[in-house]
Structure 1
Amino acid sequence: MNGELKDAAASPDGRPAELYERLIADLDAAGARYRLIDHPAEGRTDLVSAMRGHDVAHAAKCLVVMVKAGKKRTRYVLAVVPGDARLDLQAVKDLLDGTYAAFAGREKAEELAGSVSGTVLPFGYHPRLEVIADPALLRAPELYFNAARLDRSVALHTDDYRRIAAPRVAPITTAS
């Protein structure tokens, strides 16, 4: 799948399927080992990790970053880092040979991710999003993330995440 999951299926009324349904269909189609976890609605990584019952370091925190290369070229990155880590914007900028890097504005981030803040998936569904995962996150046997909704999460085997998402793996965190 080369980092991009298949196109969304259409619902009976012709609209694209919900992102949650697309995620589950894609995981099933790829033979992924995962389980769903229902919990009270929560998007903050530390609080939802406690509800799900795992170390916050195993949560896939997903952040949309804008990287500029000169005045005319803008790229967007979906940075996937451990829930207890801080994203190193300088590392992302250097990785992409950028001249400037900043967190994308909320509206742009939600447009590119296809979901609201707190529910961003660690997959690049938008063609303008390059997925970069920090290697520290990939050391855990399972990754946890909200499933494009605040009240349900996915616990996904890390090997399956790497195989399906095919993220670029690079150190993009800094010590807290």
Structure 2
Amino acid sequence: MSVSPTLQSYLNRGDIPYRLIRHPYTETSLSTAISAHVPARRMAKGVVLRDDEGFMMAVVPSDRRVDLQAINRQMGRVFSPAAQKDVRILFRDCNKGAVPALGQAYNLKVIWDDHLASEPDCYMEAGDHQDLLCISQSTFKKVMSENPHGMISH
């Protein structure tokens, strides 16, 4: 599949530079980082959250876990993880478990972890289990600039 059509359209519309890296098939973002020889702290994973108002994506390094309490405090809302069936509907052009960490491409609000800002580049699923999208730190900060951020992982 390579880059999901929705993500590809978002990247093209925004004239966002990226590299695509092929790697052996993996199921999790952490195993993808290992397989692609990418430091896990540079591999961003998107975790879809839900509350009464709708869905949102938290973007954190693959070697960390989402801190729901920190997100809820910062956003003034009460989120919980979204059901897998909802994630499959939201990301229908992606393989199950290969959600790109650019939720804004799918019209989701995004909150991202500050740990990602200090890395020289950022890797993320491209929509399948064999391709990684790589963007520079400056590009990452630019595409995330309108989104809230903070220490939202542990």
Farther-moved stretch of structure 1 (102-111 vs 161-170): 161-170
Aligned identity (percent) is 23
Q: How many residues align?
A: 150
Tell me which residue corresponds to 1:151. Answer: 130
CA contact (8 A) 2:95 2:129 kept: no
- CA 1:113 to 1:167, structure 2 compared with 1: closer, same or farther past 3 Å? farther
Q: Does 1:131 align with 2:110?
A: yes
Tell me which residue corresponds to 2:47. Answer: 63
Tell me which residue corresponds to 1:172. Answer: 152
**Gap regions ≥5 residues in structure 1:** 1-17, 68-72
- Cα deviation 1:123-172 (Å, max 9, x = unaligned): 22333x21010010121111111101111111111221222244321221
Runs of 4+ in 1 over 4 A off after TM superposition: none
Tell me which residue corresponds to 1:97. Answer: 76
Tell me which residue corresponds to 2:27. Answer: 43
Q: RMSD between aligned alpha carbons?
A: 2.1
TM-score (norm: length of structure 1): 0.75
- When Rg is computed on C-alpha atoms for both structures, the one with the higher figure is 1
Greater fraction of residues in helix: 2
TM-score (norm: length of structure 2): 0.85
CA contact (8 A) 2:46 2:99 kept: yes
- CA 1:117 to 1:138, structure 2 compared with 1: closer, same or farther past 3 Å? farther
1:53 to 24, 34, 37: 37
